[in-house]
Amino acid sequence: MDRIIRICSLHATLALMLAAPIAAQAADSEADVDLFWQAQRAEFGGQPVSAIKSYNRLLVQVPQSSVAVDRLFDAAILHGDFTSAMKAARAQQLAESGDAAVPLIFFVDAWKRRDWAEATQATSWLQQRSIFAFMAPILNAWVESAQG
């Protein structure tokens, strides 16, 4: 009987040691979920600035979250927050995912900075994402015209 208790104690100790990091992750995860729902409530409640701030905070805490990136991108585009849209677009680019409009954001950013090489690169990326490929020749013509 004594041997059974020692084995059970050993297993219980190991289970607790393994569960501690999981519990810590769950607490972090719970805070992230709360932040996500705070952003959702703000967005649906007609408070886009608050929603975008919450999505930005969530993206800082969980940079690998595709949901946070996508929601930030959509909210930022919808409400005209170009800085947050660029932040989300960069995160989508690093994850090799994202909306088909992401190359357009990069094109606009390059255009504003008059970085014609990057603008041309954005149009070639746009061509690869076939949905907006028809725009690439037009945007390339704009770049050529702007270069003189």
pLDDT digits (tens, 9 = 90+) for 21-63: 333 333 347 777 888 888 889 988 999 999 999 999 998 888 8
**pLDDT at residue 14 greater than cutoff 50:** no
Per-residue model confidence (pLDDT) at position 3 = 53
Q: Which two tokens stand for residue 100?
A: 């088909």
Per-residue model confidence (pLDDT) at position 1 = 52
pLDDT tens per residue, range 55-110: 999 988 888 888 889 999 999 999 999 999 999 999 988 887 777 889 999 999 99
Q: Is the pTM of this model over 0.75?
A: no
Per-residue model confidence (pLDDT) at position 30 = 75
Quick check: helix, strand or coil at residue 63?
coil
Confidence of residue 132 (pLDDT cuts 50, 70, 90): confident
The neighbour count for residue 135, using CB atoms within 10 Å, is 15
Q: How far apart are CA 17 and CA 14, in angstroms?
A: 5
Torsion of CA 26, 32, 34, 35, to 10 degrees: 170
